[in-house]
Amino acid sequence: MAQLRDVIVAARRSVSSSLRLVPACLVWAGLAAGMAHAQPAAPAPDEAPPADTTLPDFWHQDTLTGDWGGVRTTLAKDGVSVTMTYIGDAQGNVSGGIQRGAVYDGLLQPQVDVDLGKLVGWSGAIAHISMLQITGPSLTTGYTGNLMNVSSINAQPGVRLYNTWLQQNAFDGLLSVRVGYMTADTEFFTSTTASMFVSSTFGWPGILALDLPGGGPAYPLPAPGARVQLNPVPSLTLLAAVFSGDPSGHAGQTNPATQQPDGTVISFSGGVFAIAEADYALNQEKDAKGLPATFKLGAWLHSGNQFGDQRFDSNGLSLANPLSNGTPSNHHGDWGLYGIIDMALYQAPGEGGGGLSAFLRVVGAPGNQNLITFYADGGLAYKGLIPSRENDTIGLAVAYARIGDQARALDMDTQQFSNPLNPIRSEEVLMELSYQAQLTPWWVLQPNLQYVANPSGGVDNADGTQRRNAVVVALRTVVTF
């Protein structure tokens, strides 16, 4: 019960932190409410009614801070959009894992988007710049002890430059080229249905985060890169990108991911990470009669030489052998294949976008140099299930990560050489039940429950006890300023 109280306290802090700016904005609320309720003078018989210039009230405007007295609208006319989002996660491990306890993580992300065509007449060009301020410890590392992070915002605390790039569109949208300091997870491996969930694995999947150096070019570590997008027909999108191989800057160290830096690192080391994807969109046009669906096929390739063997050392001995030198045999290069299905199963009448949708993602990678060799996740989400809450979404998702055969063989070697009771890892399964409540256009609350079966594939804790299945209760708050 003490741990549950910790979660409740952390949740209260989450809500409190997202509302700290509310008192400062009450003046805006009063002005908006006054304008909304003011009664204009009746027009003369020969006059047309005046245009409706009423501003939305505080609870119905798109952002917490509103239009800044018209500044936002003026900037938008010049092609400049300024936004800032705060995400807070109050999470507690109430059972199993390493130990029980609660943490609070925060992410503040300001960003600026510029349409250079409107601003300076550079046709088809857009620019983007963003930053991250990350706070809070890791529930996954200190409490649940699993592989797939239970929070998509948890990372090494600090302030860093984030996605910063320039994009040129040409030939009426047929071609798009983007160059800069950026992440792959914003465009590759994405699922609209999966994006509502809180665990990081439903964004950039755990197999890539665990197998690639530095976790790959994904939140929170961008890498220098370039991306090309082709749209030969409206239903088909072809994407390809290359990135610097190790966004953490720790080239030469073997996987799994090394310690994340706490600041900005612009790394050109660690080889090259390349990824390509083909997306086919079905029934996406406005008057389509069938249910919309998206199918994606992709592949990635890494040219680096920092992929350590999961079983053998550089002399060919098992790493569990007392005679081993402890240095894993190095593999040059790595690769993987994936497929994604994202589709609607039912669409509610009207234009609200409600209904039931589903997703499925499957990934495979070779076993010698990768801890995870097979990964799959899938789930369902229903928007507008409660008639009076048409913008709310409820979802259930499951992720499965299989430990590779070579890593399992190392566990067997450990039993033979030193510890007959050493557990043999198998797989980790994470399940999440989430409810996303759209309280206002600028404020979302999302209680969620996660269950982690076989944390880290089935291992013992440092004190020799078995790491049991973990149960996480959490509350996420999202505020758009």
Which CATH number covers residue 338?
2.40.160.180
Tally the C-alpha atoms within 13 A of residue 373's C-alpha that lie toward its C-beta: 15
117 CB-contact burial (10 Å; exposed 0-12 / middle 13-18 / buried 19+): middle
* Residue 76 falls inside a structural domain: yes
Q: Which residue blocks in 222-308 are alpha helix, DSSP H?
A: none
CA dihedral 286, 288, 290, 294 (to 10 degrees): -60
Domain hosting 183: range is: 2-30+54-437+448-480
pLDDT at residue number 6: 52
User: Count of CB atoms within 10 A of residue 407's CB?
Assistant: 21
175 CB-contact burial (10 Å; exposed 0-12 / middle 13-18 / buried 19+): middle
Phi/psi-derived region of residue 214, left when phi > 0, alpha when psi is between -120 and 50, beta in every other case: left
Tell me, rounded to whole angstroms, the distance of Cα 305 from its chain centroid.
Answer: 27
pLDDT at residue number 251: 59
Query: Please, are residues 172 and 215 in contact by the beta-carbon 8 Å criterion?
Result: no
User: Count of CB atoms within 10 A of residue 317's CB?
Assistant: 17
Taking only the tens of pLDDT, the chain with its 481 residues reads: 444 445 444 444 443 443 333 333 322 333 233 323 333 333 333 444 454 455 678 999 999 999 999 999 999 999 999 999 999 999 999 999 999 999 999 999 999 999 999 999 999 999 999 999 999 999 999 999 999 999 999 999 999 999 999 999 999 989 999 999 999 999 999 999 999 999 999 999 999 999 999 999 999 999 999 999 999 999 999 999 999 999 988 755 555 555 677 788 888 888 999 999 999 999 988 888 889 999 999 999 999 988 999 999 999 999 999 999 999 999 999 999 999 999 999 998 877 779 999 999 999 999 999 999 999 999 999 999 998 899 999 999 999 999 999 999 999 999 999 999 999 999 999 999 999 999 999 999 999 999 999 999 999 999 999 999 999 999 999 999 9
* Residue 44 falls inside a structural domain: no
Nearest to 207 by CA among 86, 298, 82: 298
* Residue 42 falls inside a structural domain: no
* Residue 443 falls inside a structural domain: no
* Residue 39 falls inside a structural domain: no
In degrees and rounded to multiples of 5, residue 73 shows phi and psi of -65, -40
* Residue 125 falls inside a structural domain: yes
Residue 101 CA: distances (Å) to CA of 90, 137, 151, 229, 331: 11, 12, 15, 45, 39
* Residue 59 falls inside a structural domain: yes
Nearest to 438 by CA among 358, 397, 384, 481: 384
* Residue 41 falls inside a structural domain: no
Residue 449 CA: distances (Å) to CA of 70, 300, 433: 41, 32, 5
Domains contained in the chain, number: 1
